[in-house]
Structure 1
């Protein structure tokens, strides 16, 4: 702003004439700072702020400002003063007049209230943005167009990339890209999205220590409003490494789910199926795309689905998982035995978003188990036949006794009938009755032999273990006498029945009894017999237990478990199959077979069988 021109009239007259129409206040001041004149705009300002003295709206150092203006011979600009709620900026300009009575300084005022408020708001906004940038966990940065050179980077760069902000200024962000991502960016691959001047891209940035960090950058272009020229780019970059790795893991999991041979099914709480993997479609012979949504109940037999609905889903809701053996049905109606696991997946609230189930087809395994079971039955039958062969001499002796008695009674009856006079009918009748008794005795021996040797299907029925023990003790009496062994029993009364195959339990018990008799130091000459005791009781777990106790040399000192290995034997002519087969039989029945040392000398072989349910009936 320059001084008012000299028009040749007195300085004050010229001043009044020139500034009378100006809309802003203007003052004429003497060299001492005294106000000599003012224009109408000054009066209007005073009236607006309800003041009468113009000096009240001038800067506090008004006189010093006048002197400084005259001393330096140049304008002093933007000296601020308050006028009520308004802010005025005054500029002091040396007057051009040389008249002694003229003003020395012209003072021009302007209302800067609005601009100062705008400037203050801008300063506050800049401070706020600077604070947000400095406190943000995301990297806020400015870049040059094209080269993406850093003009500014917020302190988060140190946390995420290891660089101080000043280290990044002047560096192109493209130089920090992973080589693959740099090529991707330059080729504008689909990882970059553009919408309304905003770029969104996910790239790997090289950390200062050398590893790479996944950053998702949202960038906005700033352009000149008039020319549209691209000025710079502002970016906000956040660490998405966890998200990217999780997405990759999800994709890998999806590929595994599609490649697995197990059936994978997703379904909602109503049982509506939302996903079937390739193995499920193939195994259940379902089309890849159906005309209507399937429900889980359509893929399972009614009984299996009822169990899943009442037990499986309820448990999965409560604990997150359930597993069990069920069944599925393929499109042809063929039933598949399966092992099934159900998982519940919670939503963001307290509910369940969906369920998933992993199903393994057990058809081949069931078939293999049936083959193994059939093989075990064959082996058990062979073992029984071998046992009978080993007992043949004793059994022959046992049969010879009733047969010899039958012959003697028959010959005696014949002699009496041939005598003169013939014997009375009552005498002959007594002989015939004794013949019948001995024949029944022989028949019972043969019945036991046939029952033990027969080859029958595996059948679990409720049986009385004590009755089986008594039967086998009678069966073993001939061999016990031959070994000089005394068989005894201590059987707990009122034991519950067990679900078992009677012939197989007899086989186990016979094997244990024969081992005990062979181990006992018996005296076949009729001296003192060695005891072999069979005891039954009920365990704390509710299982029926049978213990065969002998007084022999005891168990091997090295590894007693070797006794149950196939083909391991301590007998000179043994096959090493008896105890191995016996343990397999017990385990197939859900029981156990083990051996302990007898504290009084010898060994104790024990087995347990689960008690039958109260509702068990024959034929189960």
Structure 2
């Protein structure tokens, strides 16, 4: 067999290799072959076929390292024995390659604790990697030094061996001291770290979720002690559940799992659980659960969500819109439904230019001016009001306010605000302003003075007519008490009436009141007051219309004087018509008196019958009194005195009037009868005025009877009580009645019932006014059996009451 020897086995350490007794010491021997076989089995079985467990593969790799180490030692100390050298001999390249492959295999695939400690970047990995080589290599140094110096120094071999042994002991002691010191420091740090970590909420569980470690923080959070929690399933113990339904707070996120859990006292918690799985060589994986209490955060989130929902409902109910404007990009973003409520299509206005195109031009400039002032003053917010142009025509008014945000240089970045459609309110306000202007125009032109008061009698408004009436300017009286407009003696009464109305709601309203006012110059004048009331916002407003009665009273006084004058003229006219009858009637008692006196004189002269003379004188005196009574009645009827209302007898009043009218009418054969109600004997009236009415009615009846040609000339005067404490008196005759054309207007002035030239036509008109002034009524009608009937009413009175 041809053998080619290239001498490669002598390239490295040739001299040392040549000293070995083996025939070919640098070539692969039994050791090399075994190492190669073990590496192949370990690598192929673990990585390709996975025949062995990781621990068995690591044993093969460790055996390779041991064989390499033995070969290295025997190579360095060949004198230990030829058999061992031949058995474990190994070339240096083979040894280096085998050691490298074995170490790589251990690092990548080994699960041995020692290898894991040496190859894992734990807290003490540097210490262990320094300590282990030192413990292995440093004890060899004294031996190597002793081997090198043996025979070279003048010391016995035993002494050198003893020194080497002592050096090894010192080295071992130093290494042990250093290791103990490092371990003690590490244990102290670990204890401190463990104490700190125990205060955190950390749970260690196995793959099934059973608790293997329960920290002090977990005890404080959940209320379960470590003894009670260990061995229990963490999720069963805490009734954990993950709420994935709508609105749930238990969801898987990037930072962990949000769970709902319950404490020992059944208190609900929201927690964030972060899970890490820790794998250790030779042990089951452990799950580290880091628990964070997020109950307050979840509550705050839910409260924020509720608040946002409430805000959305509120803005929707109030039809508020929310917008955001990015000034740099011009982008406009609206809350849902805002554009539709403003009458715009969705996404119709998405930027500033789109907004500008939909807004009235004059409003755009006003808004820009507002923004400029806001930026200039660095104001936090601003308000706005403008009009949107509608696509279908028309405008829609809006208003709102916005919050402004600036950058560090003071430039406006964005605005966030609310917007509200106020079109209907604008229309109502415009209509209200028109009505107010119209009302103001009416109030300024109405002739009556107007004063508006509150419930405290404070003047709120004072019209121009009121300024003219009282002489005050509106600015002088607004805010002051209305009692300043009346005399001092009447102020308490006015306040009492106002307070009574505020408390009871009775009085003032719907009544026409009269009072006395006092002007700015102290002048007092009569007024008529009408009051209206309005209630709103818990306040009462009184609108008082005041009319000056000075002119009215003066006019009424002049009319009263004129009426009295007319009545006087009427009585004079009536008396002038009765003059002839009165002359004839007065002639009779005067003639009789003259005759009686003449006869008495004759008897006295003759000295005859004293008793007869007395009778004649008595009869003469009666006739004289009769004439005087006729003259007295005529003077009383003709007198123009003041009106005197008092209790009067119905019988006396009627009979005196009849006696006055019947003077000198005996030749007409007119019969007068009385039907007076004894249950209504008195009236409350002015007797002279009532008698004037009776005289006018009786004269009309007598004139009708004189010209009628009837034989039965009869006048009936009756009275009886009626409703409302009144007495009705009736004058009826048996004449021809009243012509229909006269009956319709007989109480109108200058309308006469006596025909052409029969009278002035004012008697019945005056009579009607007299009766109405007494609170009664006067009417006329034709009787069915023939003749006319006049009826009038007067207030009834009790006897003795004046």
- TM-score under structure 2 length normalisation: 0.54
Is 2:473 aligned against 1:473? no
Larger radius of gyration: 2
Instruction: Provide the secondary structure at the position in 2 that maps to 1:564.
Output: coil
Structure number with greater CO (CA < 8 Å, separation at least 6) is 1
Shift in CA distance, 269/461, structure 1 to aligned 2, threshold 3 Å = same
Shift in CA distance, 182/571, structure 1 to aligned 2, threshold 3 Å = farther
Q: Report the Cα distance in structure 2 between the residues aligned to 1:450 and 1:499, rounded to whole angstroms.
A: 23
Instruction: Provide the secondary structure at the position in 1 that maps to 2:754.
Output: coil
Deviation of 1:207 after TM superposition, in Å, equals: 7.9
Of 507-516 and 553-562, more deviation after overlay is shown by 553-562
Shift in CA distance, 121/225, structure 1 to aligned 2, threshold 3 Å = farther
Q: Which of 311, 323, 343 is equivalent to 1:142?
A: 323
Shift in CA distance, 509/342, structure 1 to aligned 2, threshold 3 Å = same
Is 2:623 aligned against 1:438? yes
Alignment-derived partner of residue 318 in structure 1: 504
Alignment-derived partner of residue 82 in structure 1: 257
Segments of structure 2 that go 5 or more residues without pairing to the other structure are 1-103, 111-116, 124-196, 210-251, 260-270, 277-288
Alignment-derived partner of residue 26 in structure 1: none
Q: Which of 503, 511, 517 is equivalent to 1:328?
A: 517
Q: Report the Cα distance in structure 2 between the residues aligned to 1:534 and 1:19, rounded to whole angstroms.
A: 144
Is 2:752 aligned against 1:569? yes
CA contact (8 A) 2:257 2:274 kept: yes
Of 300-309 and 141-150, more deviation after overlay is shown by 141-150
Q: Which of 385, 388, 400 is equivalent to 1:218?
A: 400
> Which structure 2 residues correspond to residues 302-451 of structure 1 after superposition, within 5 A?
304-305=490-491, 307-311=493-497, 313-315=499-501, 317-319=503-505, 322=508, 323=511, 324-342=513-531, 357-413=544-600, 421=606, 423-451=608-636
Q: Report the Cα distance in structure 2 between the residues aligned to 1:230 and 1:327, rounded to whole angstroms.
A: 70
Deviation of 1:467 after TM superposition, in Å, equals: 1.9
Q: Report the Cα distance in structure 2 between the residues aligned to 1:569 and 1:148, rounded to whole angstroms.
A: 96
Alignment-derived partner of residue 700 in structure 2: 515
Larger helix share, 1 or 2: 2
Instruction: Provide the secondary structure at the position in 1 that maps to 2:745.
Output: helix
Shift in CA distance, 126/290, structure 1 to aligned 2, threshold 3 Å = closer
Is 2:732 aligned against 1:549? yes
Q: Which of 203, 209, 226 is equivalent to 1:50?
A: 203
Q: Which of 511, 534, 540 is equivalent to 2:717?
A: 534
Shift in CA distance, 440/153, structure 1 to aligned 2, threshold 3 Å = farther
Deviation of 1:468 after TM superposition, in Å, equals: 1.3
Q: Deviations over 1:502-537 (max 9, x none)?
A: 32221111112222333448887xx85332211122
Shift in CA distance, 486/172, structure 1 to aligned 2, threshold 3 Å = farther
Q: Report the Cα distance in structure 1 between the residues aligned to 2:695 and 2:566, rounded to whole angstroms.
A: 16
Shift in CA distance, 274/127, structure 1 to aligned 2, threshold 3 Å = closer
Is 2:315 aligned against 1:133? yes
CA contact (8 A) 2:451 2:543 kept: yes
Of 400-409 and 584-593, more deviation after overlay is shown by 400-409
C-alpha RMSD of the superposition: 5.2
Of 566-575 and 539-548, more deviation after overlay is shown by 566-575
Q: Which of 492, 502, 514 is equivalent to 2:677?
A: 492
Q: Report the Cα distance in structure 1 between the residues aligned to 2:736 and 2:394, rounded to whole angstroms.
A: 71
CA contact (8 A) 2:460 2:478 kept: no
Q: Deviations over 1:93-142 (max 9, x none)?
A: xxxxxxxxxxxxxxxx999998x9698887766555444433x2333142
Deviation of 1:560 after TM superposition, in Å, equals: 4.4
Alignment-derived partner of residue 64 in structure 1: none
CA contact (8 A) 2:696 2:763 kept: yes
> Which structure 2 residues correspond to residues 186-265 of structure 1 after superposition, within 5 A?
196-201=379-384, 217-223=399-405, 228-237=411-420, 239=422, 240-241=425-426, 242=428, 262-265=448-451
Instruction: Provide the secondary structure at the position in 1 that maps to 2:735.
Output: coil
Shift in CA distance, 20/423, structure 1 to aligned 2, threshold 3 Å = farther
Shift in CA distance, 119/477, structure 1 to aligned 2, threshold 3 Å = closer
Shift in CA distance, 89/405, structure 1 to aligned 2, threshold 3 Å = farther
Deviation of 1:471 after TM superposition, in Å, equals: 0.7
> Which structure 2 residues correspond to residues 276-291 of structure 1 after superposition, within 5 A?
279-286=465-472
Q: Deviations over 1:321-347 (max 9, x none)?
A: 504111122344432111124566667
Q: Report the Cα distance in structure 1 between the residues aligned to 2:630 and 2:574, rounded to whole angstroms.
A: 15
Q: Deviations over 1:525-558 (max 9, x none)?
A: xx85332211122222101221112233445557
Q: Report the Cα distance in structure 1 between the residues aligned to 2:338 and 2:705, rounded to whole angstroms.
A: 86
Q: Report the Cα distance in structure 2 between the residues aligned to 1:491 and 1:195, rounded to whole angstroms.
A: 100
Instruction: Provide the secondary structure at the position in 2 that maps to 1:563.
Output: coil
Q: Deviations over 1:260-280 (max 9, x none)?
A: 554445666666667655554
CA contact (8 A) 1:544 1:611 kept: yes
Deviation of 1:382 after TM superposition, in Å, equals: 1.8
Of 338-347 and 598-607, more deviation after overlay is shown by 338-347
Is 2:638 aligned against 1:463? no
CA contact (8 A) 1:321 1:342 kept: no
Q: Report the Cα distance in structure 2 between the residues aligned to 1:481 and 1:169, rounded to whole angstroms.
A: 114
CA contact (8 A) 1:139 1:153 kept: no
Shift in CA distance, 181/222, structure 1 to aligned 2, threshold 3 Å = closer
Deviation of 1:393 after TM superposition, in Å, equals: 3.0
Deviation of 1:445 after TM superposition, in Å, equals: 1.4
Shift in CA distance, 520/188, structure 1 to aligned 2, threshold 3 Å = farther
Deviation of 1:220 after TM superposition, in Å, equals: 0.6
Deviation of 1:488 after TM superposition, in Å, equals: 1.4
Deviation of 1:387 after TM superposition, in Å, equals: 1.9
Alignment-derived partner of residue 605 in structure 1: 790
CA contact (8 A) 1:88 1:110 kept: yes
Of 596-605 and 320-329, more deviation after overlay is shown by 596-605
Of 116-125 and 230-239, more deviation after overlay is shown by 116-125
Q: Report the Cα distance in structure 2 between the residues aligned to 1:458 and 1:261, rounded to whole angstroms.
A: 34
Q: Report the Cα distance in structure 2 between the residues aligned to 1:178 and 1:505, rounded to whole angstroms.
A: 81
CA contact (8 A) 1:133 1:154 kept: no
Instruction: Provide the secondary structure at the position in 2 that maps to 1:562.
Output: coil
Q: Deviations over 1:14-50 (max 9, x none)?
A: xx999999xxxxxxxxxxxxxxxxxxxxxx99x9652
Alignment-derived partner of residue 766 in structure 2: 581
Q: Report the Cα distance in structure 2 between the residues aligned to 1:253 and 1:301, rounded to whole angstroms.
A: 31
Deviation of 1:245 after TM superposition, in Å, equals: 5.1
Segments of structure 1 that go 5 or more residues without pairing to the other structure are 1-7, 22-43, 57-76, 91-108
Q: Deviations over 1:418-455 (max 9, x none)?
A: 7xx45444444433332222222122112222221222
Q: Report the Cα distance in structure 1 between the residues aligned to 2:690 and 2:109, rounded to whole angstroms.
A: 138
Instruction: Provide the secondary structure at the position in 1 that maps to 2:751.
Output: coil
Deviation of 1:11 after TM superposition, in Å, equals: 8.5
Instruction: Provide the secondary structure at the position in 2 that maps to 1:236.
Output: strand
CA contact (8 A) 1:405 1:438 kept: yes
CA contact (8 A) 1:205 1:212 kept: yes
Q: Report the Cα distance in structure 2 between the residues aligned to 1:158 and 1:119, rounded to whole angstroms.
A: 30
Number of residue pairs aligned between Structure 1 and Structure 2? 537
Q: Report the Cα distance in structure 2 between the residues aligned to 1:334 and 1:577, rounded to whole angstroms.
A: 40
